[in-house]
Amino acid sequence: MTDRYEVIIVGGGMVGATAACALGHGGIRVALLDAYNPERQWPPESVDIRVSALTKASQNILELLGAWQGMVQRGVCAYRDMRVFDARGGGELHFDCADTAFNELGHLVENRVIVAALWDVLATLPSATCLTPAFVSGLQLTEKGRQVKLSDGRILEAELVIAADGSESALRTMMGIKVTGWDYHQAGLVATVTTEKSHQATAWQCFLDEGPLAFLPLKNGQCSIVWTLKSATAKNYLALNDKDFLQVLEQASGGILGKLLTVGPRAAFPLRFQYADRYIDERFALIGDAAHVMHPLAGQGANAGFLDAAAIAELVIKTKQERRPLSSSRFLRNYERWRKGDNLVMMASMDVINKIYQMTSPPFVSMRSAGMNRINDTALLKTYLNHYAMGLREDLPKLAKGQACW
């Protein structure tokens, strides 16, 4: 027996669940497949090691989907300032929410909080179905759509399959879609730390010789760190005991938040620049990390994924409202044109910044820091960069601009 849906999404993380929620609100019969049923509750003192910095655009999406309230209940932390330093050259940038129309620049949220709130919403949507555990073993094109074979023998069918199964996407491989990119030979070391001084609702980032070190404020007063290091250095730092690691981290931070008192579990993940050569195939689309992976130095990866999810949901809902078949390739081509260019611009920007701050020749360092200070003193340019980073642009999906698309 074959279960039929209009859309099947594989991957129930932040981006896949966002797309499923949006489609469910639009009355699309959607199935969300994942290997695991995500946790919805945890001890109050625990903190997820993975945290995302959400822009105003991402907040708009999550509010309209009905997930934001559940996220606030579980814990989000607004950040009102961002301070960026060049440790080698002395350049500095300061972004303040007082220079915008909002009370904050964005929010820091644990990834598990976002996923749990989205799955809570999915449970209330009549046209949405969540299937776990579900492992895809094959994809096949049929007259009526795409057939998805699961490892337990179940067969599902839909007019459109969306892959949101991460940077190592199995579905992308099944579809023969190649990726272009390179390894940075860097790793992002993440952990949660307790600092002597208050984080002051500020996101702190210091560019060091091996890469940026960020202290991101959490609601409980602690900070989540994301430290870009050479792969070998990250491996060595993971092997240190807590006391020695804190000493190394405090020295690297220049004491911006005083002494570092405690550190939780540490992990490191390899950093790559990677994009799919195409986002679409017949009755098939990629979103999120399955389509693109960028350097985390500005925290834009998750936000780009939310925009992918909002864009494809808007186009699917519009296609159905116009009584056109979801098998039409027209809206998929529109999705690829809409999102691929925007993502590549953001990815290239992060790549260039990462490379610039790895250069150590004194004349270049002086010029780099002078440029940072010049931007900091130029209100118009700084305001433009601030608004762009917050996702306040015209070419965004309706949900990102605070407008329903159903």
pLDDT at 394 > cutoff 90: no
In a domain, 297, yes or no: yes
> What's the total number of domains in the chain?
1
Q: Is residue 247 in some structural domain?
A: no
Domain assignment present for residue 361? The answer is: yes
Indicate if the pLDDT at residue 382 is higher than 80: no
Residue 186 domain flag: no
Q: Which residues are bridge partners to 140 per DSSP?
A: 147
Report residue 379's pLDDT band, with 50, 70 and 90 as the boundaries. confident
Q: CB neighbours (10 Å) of residue 182?
A: 9
Domain residues for 107?
A: 2-181+272-401
Q: At what angle do helices 14-25 and 111-122 cross, to 10 degrees?
A: 30
Q: What is the CATH number of the domain that holds 42?
A: 3.50.50.60
| Model confidence pLDDT, tens digit, residues 31-82 | 999 999 999 999 988 999 999 999 999 999 999 999 999 999 999 999 999 9
Distance, CA of 210 to CA of 207 (rounded, Å): 8
Q: State pTM to two decimals.
A: 0.95
Q: Is residue 348 part of a domain?
A: yes
- Residue 216, strand partner residues: 224
In the chain, count of helices (H) and strands (E)? Answer: 11, 20
- Domain membership flag for residue 311: yes
For residue 329, CA distances in Å to 170, 282, 324, 397 come to 22, 7, 11, 19
**Does 164 reside within a domain?**
yes
Residue 328 maps to a domain: yes
Asked if the model's pLDDT at residue 251 lies above 90, the reply is yes
> Residues 86-127: pLDDT tens digits?
988 888 889 898 888 889 999 999 999 999 999 999 999 999
Averaged pLDDT score across all residues of the chain: 94
